[in-house]
Amino acid sequence: MPSSPTITTMPTHAAQPDDSPALQALYRGFEQERLIPLWTQIGDLMPMHPQSKASACLWRWKRLNELAAEAGRLVPVGRGGERRAIALANPTLGGRPYATPTLWAAIQYLMPGENAPEHRHTQHAFRFVLEGEGVWTVVNGDAVRMSRGDFLPQGGWNWHAHHNAATRPMAWIDGLDIPFAYTTESQFFEMGRATLSADEMGTPQLSRSERLWAHPGLRPVSQTNDSATTPLLAYRWVDTDRALNEQLALEAEGHAVTLSPGHAAVRYSNPTNGRDVLPTVRCEMHRIRSGAASVERREVGSSVYQVFDGQGSVQVGAERWQVEKGDMFVVPSWQPFTARCGADAPALDLFRFSDTPIFEAVHAYRVQLGAAQA
């Protein structure tokens, strides 16, 4: 069950005053003047450590996919609604379409021949493809192929549209910082052209961004500026998979290059500065080999995971689930998290995104490794 936000009280010297007619008049005065005293709020406002309002929560891919397919049959996509995207709604976040207090996570579905119209917004976004192919996302006129295992970041305020050039529907997941932008009231949105040019509706194997940027360790000398969002619009599965395999192979050869024994991980990074691909969202792929488990970890900020492949069990706070391909779950701020690969699976691959860059930027990030003290 979701843990309710417990009120952590301050040490005992924070006593409440004795009730009296004068005190009640004081409180009425506060209310009339729109004032609230700290001493009635302190435990919730300033807890000893993060007490997330979000719940540790799991969504099964089977149901996500079935419901998205049904939405494909019943709900048109086009101008106004903009996208056939269905958000994970964490049940303790007030009925809002938020996976966590800062992160949006959705399954998006596009039928054969459909076009999701061009628009742009200040929210930072990415797509991650669990299965399927046939959709191209067009970012600033650059058509980018989407296939299984590909990660496609797209920084805020870039024009984008999607089109399905195949004969089958396709689903993928979107991650955005919509709740963060909403809470901080920093959003802008603009609609784009009704139709794209024939060139933009093309289906190239490689986007222009990849032809320019997807060469490890090689930067085009003409591109001198560091960019707050990555100019590389697709990180292909073949590269991610090879990087993870080589980490585990190096470990087996006696080199201490993994996060912990049997746990390899890579972070998608911005080739102009080596930092996160998006200013507000960190994205990673983790591979835990058969028989291995991750080190228990808790940290400031929230994460959303999707099982990319394999099977295993995950523990989030007091919750424990068996998970398989496509399942998605949330790790709220400061809740301990461990993942373990199932004995029958060669590996458990976990795609992860989190709001960590926000906390790093404001020097509010903390992490604790190893079993948490009670």
Residues in contact with ligand GTQ by CB under 6 A are 82-83, 85, 106, 108, 121, 160, 174, 176
Give whichever of 106 and 304 is closer to ligand GTQ, judged by the CB atom: 106
Q: Find where tokens 């409440």 sit.
A: 16
Taking a C-beta distance cutoff of 8 angstroms, is the pair 112, 77 a contact?
A: no
Who contacts 32 (Cβ-Cβ below 8 Å, separation ≥6)?
none
Which pairs from 257-261 meet CB under 8 Å and 24+ separation?
A: 259/286, 259/294, 259/295, 260/294, 260/295, 261/292
Distance CA 307, CA 309 (A): 6
Give whichever of 146 and 348 is closer to ligand GTQ, judged by the CB atom: 146
At 322, which helix (H) or strand (E)?
Answer: strand 319-324
Give whichever of 126 and 334 is closer to ligand GTQ, judged by the CB atom: 126
For residue 248, give the 3-state DSSP assignment: helix
Give whichever of 268 and 337 is closer to ligand GTQ, judged by the CB atom: 268
- In angstroms, what is the minimal distance from the CB of 278 to ligand GTQ? 14
- In angstroms, what is the minimal distance from the CB of 142 to ligand GTQ? 15
Give whichever of 100 and 108 is closer to ligand GTQ, judged by the CB atom: 108
Return the structure tokens found at 325: 């391909």
- In angstroms, what is the minimal distance from the CB of 118 to ligand GTQ? 9
Beta bridge partners of 87: 106
Give whichever of 128 and 235 is closer to ligand GTQ, judged by the CB atom: 128
Q: Would you mind telling me the total number of residues written for the chain in this entry? A: 374
- In angstroms, what is the minimal distance from the CB of 137 to ligand GTQ? 8
Q: How far, in Å, are 55, 185, 335, 336 from residue 50 at the CA level?
A: 13, 22, 9, 12
Q: Which stretches of 144-196 are DSSP H helices?
A: 178-183
Give whichever of 247 and 302 is closer to ligand GTQ, judged by the CB atom: 302
- In angstroms, what is the minimal distance from the CB of 182 to ligand GTQ? 12
Who contacts 241 (Cβ-Cβ below 8 Å, separation ≥6)?
149
- In angstroms, what is the minimal distance from the CB of 16 to ligand GTQ? 45
- In angstroms, what is the minimal distance from the CB of 303 to ligand GTQ? 18
Give whichever of 83 and 267 is closer to ligand GTQ, judged by the CB atom: 83
For residue 349, give the 3-state DSSP assignment: strand
- In angstroms, what is the minimal distance from the CB of 186 to ligand GTQ? 15
Return the structure tokens found at 202: 């093309």
In this structure, the number of other CB atoms found within 10 A of the CB of residue 352 comes to 19
Give whichever of 140 and 338 is closer to ligand GTQ, judged by the CB atom: 140
Give whichever of 99 and 265 is closer to ligand GTQ, judged by the CB atom: 99
Which amino acid type is present at position 239?
Answer: D
Q: Which stretches of the chain are DSSP H helices?
A: 21-32, 42-45, 61-74, 178-183, 208-213, 237-252, 356-361
- In angstroms, what is the minimal distance from the CB of 70 to ligand GTQ? 17
CA neighbor of 204 nearest in space, from 142, 128, 133, 112: 142
- In angstroms, what is the minimal distance from the CB of 83 to ligand GTQ? 4
